[in-house]
Structure 1
Amino acid sequence: MSVWALGLNHTTAPLDLRGRFAFALDQIAPTLQSLRSSFASGRHPQVEAAIISTCNRTEIYCASEQAALDHTFGWLAQSGGVAPALLRSHAYTLQDDEAARHAFRVASGLDSMVLGEAQILGQMKDAVRAAETAGALGSTLNQLFQRSFAVAKEVRTATEIGAHSISMAAAAVRLAGQLFEDLHQTRVLFVGAGEMIDLAATHFAAKEPRSIAIANRTLERGEKLASRFGAEAMRLADLPARLAEFDIIVSCTASTLPIIGLGAVERALKARKHRPMFMVDLAVPRDIEPEVKALEDIYLYTVDDLAQVVQQGQANRQAAVAQAEVIIDAGVQSFMHWLGQRGTVPLIQQLNAQADEWRAAEMARARKLLARGESVDAVLEAMSRGLTQKMMHGAMAELHAGDAASREQTAQAISRLFLRKER
């Protein structure tokens, strides 16, 4: 059995390229179906698969009897509509122990833009549930991910990897504080109502801004989030007309196209008489057109722009990283041992089937003897003798076959299998 992974993340690919391969959670099932169907006509009909897609990464994990990295790579390039050469220059491919190590590091927050952040673990669990619901998760990938969750839990319990970490939301608040002297006087708009916006709203609300509004495509979901912060809920359709009211805009939706365009921002600036606007686009693909960044009085930050801020304080956690790597190494060795044992499963199944066949034959013979009136002791004696003869026949035949060297090897193997002393 082989496990392989490929993907691109914030360290290997620019934001706009990552956006080509971003999958919303409700897109995972049909995407997995497309991927697995692409294998059906080839040499890999039974392929397990899972997709992890966040603002910082898109990764595909697969398992099958034989690795098919090139095929998976070609499928991903085609799904994103990019040339394979371009994707290859920004992607990474991993197999077996390296794929397991990567999954464990991702789950533990060691591969995140924010070292030690915990959000990725929940995102991985969501991805695994989506793969399981889609029927794409088999025993091998299930083991890989369940072990990655266990390793992540141990890393967070036994080390201080998450101590003093600066989240993307906290970084946004810090940058906003550098632009506006008093955040109490600002009006803040959040676009979207997902987990990232929830986190960002929590951080900004702690600064007690003058007002908070939540704009969302589904008003009911926006109202639910707004009620937690004493905020106003508004429809996404009303956003262009009301954009000028806000000093700070934080956006993170699952839209495949920008929802805040250059024209709308230009009109908002004019209405504000060019008072500055602080904008944070946490979405991948982008929610805010990149041209907006060139406007005067606009301070636009993307997830990649926030990288420098969140890197502060990383040195303080390097000792924890070293401890985490030791835990991950042990987890990788354990998984690879389990994966190696999976190779003997077909043989074990065959042995069990053969033993059941022998047992059924001897049971049928014993019943016939009992029906003819044979004594129970005689029947049990015959059944036990028949079973042992069937079990020993192959070994005895091999001891008498072949040359001296092969007989010696057979003798050693039989000694190990049949002459072990019980401890």
Structure 2
Amino acid sequence: MAVWALGINHTTAPLDLRGRFAFALDQIAPTLHSLRTDVGNRLGRQPEAAILSTCNRTEIYCAGAQHEIDTTVEWLAQAGHVNPAVLRSHSYALQDAGVARHAFRVASGLDSMVLGEPQILGQLKDAVRVAEEAGALGSTLNQLFQRSFAVAKEVRTSTEIGAHSISMSAAAVRLAAQLFEDLSRVKVLFVGAGEMIELAATHFAARSPRGIAIANRTLERGEKVAGRFGAELMRLADLPTRLHEFDIVVSSTASQLPIIGLGAVERALKARKHRPMFMVDLAVPRDIEPEVKELEDVYLYTVDDLAHVVQGGQAHRQAAVAQAEAIIDAGVQSFVHWLDQRAAVPLIQQLQQQTEEWRAVELARARRMLAKGEDVEAVLEALSRGLTQKMLHGPMAELRTGDAESRQRATAAIEHFFLRKER
């Protein structure tokens, strides 16, 4: 069984390119169907597949009869409406042991922008769940991901990889505090109601801002988050007319197009008499039009802009990284051994089927002999002789035919499999 992966992340591709390949959780199932159909047309059989899509990465994991990386690149490029050569220049492709190592590092937080952050493990588990529900997950990828979860658990419990980590949300609060002397005097608007917004709201709420509001497309989800933080609930449609009320705007939705445009921000600044606005766009694709960053009184940060802040605590965790990599090495070796064993499964199945056919033939012959009243001892003798003759027919034929080299190979194999002495 061949295993391969294709991905782009925060180290290989710019934000706008990553945005072209961002899939919301409810888009994964139909996207998997498209991928498996396209690759399956080449393989003759649909591969196992799973897609991990976060603000920092989009990765495709597949397992099939043979590696189909080129086909996967072509499919993903078409899905993102980019030239395949452009995608190749910003992506990474992995096979077998390389896939396992990468998946284990991702699950453990070693490949994240925030070293050791735990959020990626939950996102990976969501991706696996969706793939399983879509019927795209087979025994090989299931084994890969279950081992990923086990390795991640061992890394987190056996090392201090997560110690001193600075989250994206904490970095946003730190930057906001540099702009506003007292965060207790500002009003904060959160656009969206997903996990990223909850994390950001938790960090900002700890600074006791003057007001918090949640704007979300779905009011039911928005009410849950707003109730947790004692925040005002807004309709997303009211955003353009109320944007000027807020000093800080943090946005993270699954929208495929920007929901806060340049014109809306310009009008808000005019109403604020050009008092500064701090804006954080945690979404991929972007929620806030990139041109907003050029406005004089706006301080706009994207997930990539926050990178240098979250890297600040990296030095404290480098010793733990070596420990984590050792755990991952052991996990990779174990998975590769399992994968090698899986390669022998078809041959084992064929061998079992062949011996079962032999057994059935000889057993039927023995029953006929017994029905005719033949002696039981003679029937057992014939049964055993028939089975051994069928088992030895192939090896004996190899010894009698072929050239000297072929007979030598057959001799070695026969001695190995049939003449080994029990120790």
Give the structure-2-normalised TM-score: 0.96
Per the alignment, residue 412 of structure 1 pairs with 412
Aligned to 2:51, the other structure's residue is in SS state: strand
**Which one-letter code corresponds to 1:135 in the other structure?**
G
Per the alignment, residue 279 of structure 1 pairs with 279
CA distance in 1, matches of 2:376, 2:209: 89
Aligned to 2:136, the other structure's residue is in SS state: coil
Per the alignment, residue 209 of structure 2 pairs with 209
Tell me, yes or no, if the aligned pair for 1:44 and 1:66 is still in contact at 8 Å. no
Per the alignment, residue 114 of structure 1 pairs with 114
- Tell me the CA shift for residue 233 of structure 1: 1.5
Per the alignment, residue 152 of structure 2 pairs with 152
Aligned to 2:4, the other structure's residue is in SS state: strand
Per the alignment, residue 379 of structure 1 pairs with 379
Per the alignment, residue 400 of structure 2 pairs with 400
Aligned to 1:42, the other structure's residue is in SS state: helix
Q: What is the identity percentage for the equivalent residue pairs of Structure 1 and Structure 2?
A: 79
**Which one-letter code corresponds to 1:87 in the other structure?**
L
Task: State the Cα deviation string for residues 14-51 of structure 1 (Å, max 9, x = none).
Answer: 11111011111111111111112212433453322211
The correspondence of residues 213-228 of structure 1 with structure 2, limited to 5 A, is 213-228=213-228
2:85 is the alignment partner of 1:89: no
- Tell me the CA shift for residue 78 of structure 1: 1.2
Per the alignment, residue 105 of structure 1 pairs with 105
Per the alignment, residue 269 of structure 2 pairs with 269
- Tell me the CA shift for residue 415 of structure 1: 2.4
CA distance in 2, matches of 1:375, 1:158: 68
- Tell me the CA shift for residue 384 of structure 1: 2.8
Give the structure-1-normalised TM-score: 0.96
CA distance in 2, matches of 1:198, 1:378: 80
Per the alignment, residue 236 of structure 2 pairs with 236
CA distance in 2, matches of 1:272, 1:13: 36
Tell me, yes or no, if the aligned pair for 1:188 and 1:212 is still in contact at 8 Å. yes
The correspondence of residues 14-413 of structure 1 with structure 2, limited to 5 A, is 14-413=14-413
- Tell me the CA shift for residue 421 of structure 1: 3.7
Task: State the Cα deviation string for residues 364-383 of structure 1 (Å, max 9, x = none).
Answer: 22222332334544433432
Tell me, yes or no, if the aligned pair for 1:44 and 1:64 is still in contact at 8 Å. no
- Tell me the CA shift for residue 416 of structure 1: 2.0
**Which one-letter code corresponds to 2:183 in the other structure?**
L
Gaps of 5+ in 1: none
Aligned to 2:42, the other structure's residue is in SS state: coil
Task: State the Cα deviation string for residues 71-96 of structure 1 (Å, max 9, x = none).
Answer: 11111111111112222221111222
CA distance in 2, matches of 1:326, 1:121: 19
Aligned to 2:288, the other structure's residue is in SS state: coil
- How many residues in Structure 1 have an aligned counterpart in Structure 2? 423
Aligned Cα root-mean-square deviation (Å): 1.7
After the TM superposition, which of the residue ranges 265-274 and 163-172 deviates more from structure 2? 265-274
- Tell me the CA shift for residue 265 of structure 1: 1.2
Aligned to 2:308, the other structure's residue is in SS state: helix
Tell me, yes or no, if the aligned pair for 2:43 and 2:65 is still in contact at 8 Å. no
- Tell me the CA shift for residue 403 of structure 1: 4.2
